[in-house]
Homo-oligomer: A and B are copies of this chain.
Amino acid sequence: MDQSDAATRTRNGDRKAPPTIYDIARLTGVSPSTVSRALNKPGRLNAQTERRIRDAASELGYRINPMARALPTGKTGTLGLLVSDITNPAYFDLVRGAERVASETGMTIVFADSQESPELERSTAERLQTSVDGLLLVGSRLEDQQIQELSSVKPLVIVNRLVDGIPAVFPDVRPGITTALELLREAGHRRIAYLAGPEASWMNGQRWQHAFEIAVEWDMSIVEIKSNAPTREGGAEAFGRVKAADVSAVLAYNDLVALGLLRECRDHGLDVPGQLSIVGFDDIFGADLPTPALSTIRMPLAALGENGIRRLLAEIDGGASEDDAALPTKFVGRESIGPVGV
């Protein structure tokens, strides 16, 4: 059959197998084990032998086969990154940060989302676990116990979540919320609303809880308004309820719902910030785009991704239990906040 291969160029039978350490061994006249050592135990071999082997390797264009290596070592050189919803631009900054440190350390990231479905999240996590060295769960919607189970299989780090016994990386939302409410209060706001996110989201709980505490402390009234989904549509859909709540300012679960609400206000002729002040959360791409530009509480998204991966790597090779300091959030003042109308 070989003779026909030369003719049909698009046939993929003509792909030749990549060189292996056996090829290098044959070429240099040593044993495969020696090649293996030359390539990843620098100094273990005679310098000249090592040189010779390395040269042969690069001449052959040798690339290690990660699968073959993974088998005996159990290390795949791969990290799993599972987010609750790729649709949210917030995750892109996070993914970006994660991808950066991963590629710096020579790790590969496999990426998946669970579309806000706990079932899908669990099955995807389990599937990934068989082929990665560790898993980074971002904004998990699973229950604590499920996360603990996953963690008993392979190293696992959670981002934007806190579960007993599980290494976590998360932001401190307090500073950002504090500044935001401070400003709102100074601007005369006394009745505010929190436009909520998914109930299964730990982050949502955090945001609500801290906003609540601070508002109460400062003697502002605060109510929680439900939303259908943490999306622009969800925010737009909540417009009616926001309006009915008779508040002068809204703190939204995230920028997506804030943006949705903001747009709906514009479409309904409700002046922002004249009649309603809006504060978002995350500072995603595009938050500064609308008029008025969205004031928001910036999440250290890239840093969360970076630290998440770093923490995971530490967890994988050692189990160093250094607890990360919670990364601070920061209020970003733009145009969607104003003095309360008369």
Q: Is the CB of B108 within 8 A of A128?
A: yes
Q: Which residue of chain B has the shortest Cβ distance to A80 in the bound complex?
A: B108
CB-CB under 8 A from A15, the residues of chain B are: 152-154
Kindly identify, within residues 1 to 43 of chain A, every residue whose CB is under 8 Å from any CB belonging to chain B: 9-12, 14-15, 18
Q: Is the CB of B87 within 8 A of A96?
A: yes
Question: With the chains together, A295 CA to B289 CA distance in Å?
Answer: 14
Whole-angstrom distance between the Cβ of A63 and the nearest chain B Cβ: 5
Question: With the chains together, A12 CA to B152 CA distance in Å?
Answer: 8
Q: Is A198 an interface residue (CB 8 A)?
A: no
Partner of A99 from the list B65, B111, B128, B290 (CB cut-off 8 Å) is B111
Question: With the chains together, A259 CA to B287 CA distance in Å?
Answer: 13
CB-CB under 8 A from A286, the residues of chain B are: 89, 285-286, 289
Kindly identify, within residues 91 to 108 of chain A, every residue whose CB is under 8 Å from any CB belonging to chain B: 92, 95-96, 99, 103, 108
Of A66-74, A209-217, A325-333, the one touching chain B:
A66-74
CB-CB under 8 A from A109, the residues of chain B are: 110-112
Whole-angstrom distance between the Cβ of A190 and the nearest chain B Cβ: 30
Which residue, A9, A66, A67, A165, has most C-beta atoms of chain B within 10 A? Answer: A67
Question: With the chains together, A319 CA to B1 CA distance in Å?
Answer: 15
CB-CB under 8 A from A259, the residues of chain B are: 289
Partner of A11 from the list B65, B89, B289, B319 (CB cut-off 8 Å) is B319
Given pairs A65-B130, A110-B111, 14 additional interface contacts (CB within 8 A): A12-B155, A14-B152, A15-B152, A15-B154, A18-B153, A66-B130, A67-B131, A86-B92, A86-B99, A103-B112, A103-B124, A108-B128, A109-B110, A290-B290
A contact set with B: CB distance below 8 Å: 9-12, 14-15, 18, 63-68, 70-71, 76, 78, 86-87, 89, 92, 95-96, 99, 103, 108-113, 124, 126-131, 152-155, 165, 259, 263, 285-286, 289-291, 315, 319, 321
Subset of 21 A-B contacts with CB under 8 Å: A10-B165, A12-B319, A15-B152, A63-B127, A65-B131, A66-B131, A67-B67, A67-B71, A68-B71, A86-B99, A87-B96, A89-B286, A95-B111, A99-B113, A108-B127, A108-B131, A109-B112, A110-B110, A263-B289, A289-B290, A291-B291
